[in-house]
């Protein structure tokens, strides 16, 4: 697995999910099939996180937050309103980000 930090914009490619493993692809360069809305995670320098989720009209709504490494390929994602989750990175290359909620 690539040991580079996660960065950039990754969009959920739910058609490729493998059981409990969620598959994300680069937002700007992957040709996604049509969908009514997709979750997107944007990992920025300094631990900032933007999570775009489909709203009631399917347009993306941003929820700001932060991310921090926990070690052993695990990261804590925190969103507005105190929501948080821990993810484990199963695979990370320039073309794919596979995660599992822990």
pLDDT interval class at 4 (50, 70, 90): low
Q: What does pTM read for this prediction?
A: 0.88
Q: How far apart are CA 46 and CA 100, in angstroms?
A: 23
Q: How far apart are CA 14 and CA 3, in angstroms?
A: 24
Q: Is 59's pLDDT higher than 60? A: yes
Report the percentage of the chain scoring pLDDT > 90.
65
| Sign of the C-alpha dihedral computed for residues 57, 60, 62 and 63 taken in this order | positive
Domains of the chain: 8-101 (2.40.128)
Give phi and psi for 51, each to the nearest 5: -115, 115
């Amino acid at each position: 697995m690539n040991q580079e930090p996660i960065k950039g914009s990754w969009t959920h490619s739910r058609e490729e999910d493998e059981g409990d493993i969620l598959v994300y692809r680069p937002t700007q360069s992957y040709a996604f099939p049509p969908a009514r809305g997709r979750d997107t995670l944007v990992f920025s320098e300094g631990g900032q996180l933007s999570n775009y989720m489909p709203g009631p009209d399917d347009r993306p709504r941003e929820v700001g937050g932060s991310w921090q490494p926990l070690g052993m390929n695990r990261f804590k994602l925190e969103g507005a309103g105190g929501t948080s989750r821990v993810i484990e990175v199963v695979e990370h290359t320039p073309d794919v980000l596979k995660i599992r909620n822990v």
